[in-house]
């Protein structure tokens, strides 16, 4: 399993790339292979370790959006939209848990789907001819459900959860900043649910120091998430259209370079 230094690197990567629409899981699966770390990514403990990093990110997001969560519980409309948007990923994650888990040991899958993610971001931007006008409370429950279905595709390494939810939100008329806000708010219950399923498995390895290593990575991921969220919320407020295009280009480059390095064995 990762050393403390590797956990810090993976935590930084997770906390940043969970919010940036470039797939944190894809990066987490690819990086150990590209850097030739002595990690067994098919180990039953590897996915729970990654989930702990996600939990750190979710805690950072919760603290950043604490005011929004308080508002959601005061105004049940937003809370209802979050519940509806969370349901698809929860159901699909439970039903397809075993086959999806196997994908986390495949850097090749992550590289291919990074390319797919880039294409999705590019097309999502290109097909929007003007900025949306809706705020989050104006979103219909049926639209929130479709955003949730798109979010479920991020169970595949290489597909960005924040990216697909933002694209879906934009397609339903949300402004860039509101689409980002909805995507980031949806992260907390989805990641929390994954934590309830996966993290208890780490208890089987508590004598091997994996819990402390995962905790270090989780704290780092939480701090990185807060910083990344602040940067991105400002960015999406300033960009009215084509805000996702730079991230699409990055995914194409990162996916292509990763696949080339894996093919060459470098």
Note the pLDDT of residue 133. 75
Query: Percentage of the chain with pLDDT > 70?
Result: 94
pLDDT tens digits, residue range 39-59? 777 777 777 788 888 888 888
Note the pLDDT of residue 50. 80
Per-residue pLDDT averaged across 238-264, rounded? 89
Residue 164: closest CA among 58, 24, 16, 21:
21
For the chain, the domain total comes to 1
**Full residue range of the structural domain in which residue 247 is found:** 4-264
pLDDT tens digits, residue range 222-234? 999 999 999 998 8
Write down the pTM of the prediction: 0.83
Q: What are the beta bridge partners of residue 174? A: 134
Q: Which residues contact 92 (CB under 8 A, 6 or more apart)?
A: 152, 155
Q: Is the pLDDT of residue 38 over 60?
A: yes
* Cα distances (Å, whole numbers) of residue 83 to 89, 142, 260: 11, 12, 41
pLDDT tens digits, residue range 127-138? 665 556 788 889
Strands (E), the chain: none
Q: Is the pLDDT of residue 208 over 80?
A: no
The answer to whether the beta carbons of residues 157 and 24 sit under 8 Å apart is no
* Cα distances (Å, whole numbers) of residue 261 to 16, 26, 238: 23, 15, 36
> Mean pLDDT over all residues of the chain?
85
Residue showing tokens 């590209």: 34
Residue showing tokens 């699409």: 248
- Which tokens hold the place of 140? 């219909």
């Amino acid at each position: 399993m990762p050393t403390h230094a590797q956990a810090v690197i993976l935590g930084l990567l997770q906390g940043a790339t969970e919010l940036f629409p470039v797939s944190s899981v894809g990066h987490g699966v690819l990086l150990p292979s590209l850097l030739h770390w002595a990690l067994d990514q098919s180990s039953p403990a590897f996915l729970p370790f990654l989930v702990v990093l996600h939990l750190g990110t979710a805690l950072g997001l919760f603290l950043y959006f604490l005011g929004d969560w308080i508002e959601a519980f005061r105004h049940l409309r937003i809370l209802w939209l979050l519940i509806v948007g969370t349901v698809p990923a929860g159901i699909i994650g439970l039903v397809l848990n075993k086959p999806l888990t196997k994908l986390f040991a495949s850097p090749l899958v992550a590289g291919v789907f990074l390319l797919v993610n880039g294409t999705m971001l590019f097309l999502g931007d290109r097909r929007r001819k003007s900025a949306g006008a809706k705020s989050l409370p104006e979103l219909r429950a049926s639209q929130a459900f479709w955003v949730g279905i798109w979010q479920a595709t991020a169970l595949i390494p290489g597909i960005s959860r924040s990216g697909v939810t933002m694209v879906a939100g934009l397609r339903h008329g949300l402004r860039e900043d509101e689409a980002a806000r909805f995507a980031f708010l949806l992260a907390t219950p989805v990641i929390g649910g994954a934590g309830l399923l996966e993290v208890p498995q780490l208890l089987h390895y508590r004598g091997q120091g994996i819990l402390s290593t995962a905790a270090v990575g989780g704290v780092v991921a939480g701090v990185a998430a807060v910083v990344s969220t602040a940067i991105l919320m400002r960015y999406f407020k300033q960009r009215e259209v084509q805000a996702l295009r730079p991230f699409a280009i990055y995914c194409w480059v990162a996916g292509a370079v990763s696949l080339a390095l894996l093919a060459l064995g470098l």
